[in-house]
Amino acid sequence: MATTTPPPIADMRDAGVRDDELVTLAAGTRRLWRIHATDGAHVLPWHGFRIHGPLLRFDHHPRPRADHPRYGIWYGASSPRGALAEVFQDTRVIDRVHRAPYLSALTPGRPLTLLDLGGFAGGTWPTRLGCNHSLDSGPHSRSQAWARAIHRAHPHLDGIAYRGRFAGELCVALFEQAADAFPTHPVFSLPLSHVGLTRRIDSAAVELGYHVV
């Protein structure tokens, strides 16, 4: 029976990570997309790593929830649709105005090496370590515990690749060590209210069954 708690750090290190249990995003080619608020409380820029946590699925911050300056997390998706699906999953309404959200994209300046928890590369790291691929859809308390263990056991990894629950696409949770891969400027950044994004947002909403306001 799969355990819901990660193994001891020493055991996780001994198990290692095989080549087919990694997702590598090449430098300068793969875009990562993010939707970020630019107004209201707790605003982060497009390249900002959140130090407050744990809050979301793969937050590796220590408990209790607080500001942890040594730990930062950045979530992104492999497509605009994936970013929209994840950010607006609770209401299923794409709000183009509230908190002045932007859609931004970056291309990493160096390769990013990510632990594959979504089965993209063909490996089965979660199963081999006594869990399963439900880490990308189960309780946050469970996936956060695994993220903390992964961060401690494998500090050479830039983060985690997982399958977004609502778009079914590649999503990433990047740890603070990936910050040096971020460029100075995004390759794309527009407010969701921009007329140039209307068709893209409307198409994504139809595919996802979301509404747009």
| Per-residue CA distances from 165 to 90, 197, 203 (Å) | 12, 23, 19
Dihedral, 98, 40, 62, 2 alpha carbons, nearest 10 = 0
- Going by the DSSP 8-state scheme, the letter that residue 20 receives in this structure is G
Residues 9-39 have pLDDT tens digits of 999 999 999 999 999 999 998 999 999 999 9
Please tell me whether the peptide bond between 7 and the residue prior to it is cis, using omega within 30 degrees of 0.
Answer: no
| Contact (Cβ atoms closer than 8 angstroms) between residue 158 and residue 112 | yes
Q: What is the pTM of this model?
A: 0.96
Q: Is the pLDDT of residue 1 over 80?
A: no
Tell which wins on pLDDT, 1 or 10.
Answer: 10
The gap from C-alpha 199 to its chain's centroid, in whole angstroms, comes to 25
Q: Is the pLDDT of residue 3 over 80?
A: no
Residues 125-147 have pLDDT tens digits of 999 999 888 888 889 999 999 99
The gap from C-alpha 152 to its chain's centroid, in whole angstroms, comes to 18
- Going by the DSSP 8-state scheme, the letter that residue 5 receives in this structure is S
The gap from C-alpha 142 to its chain's centroid, in whole angstroms, comes to 16
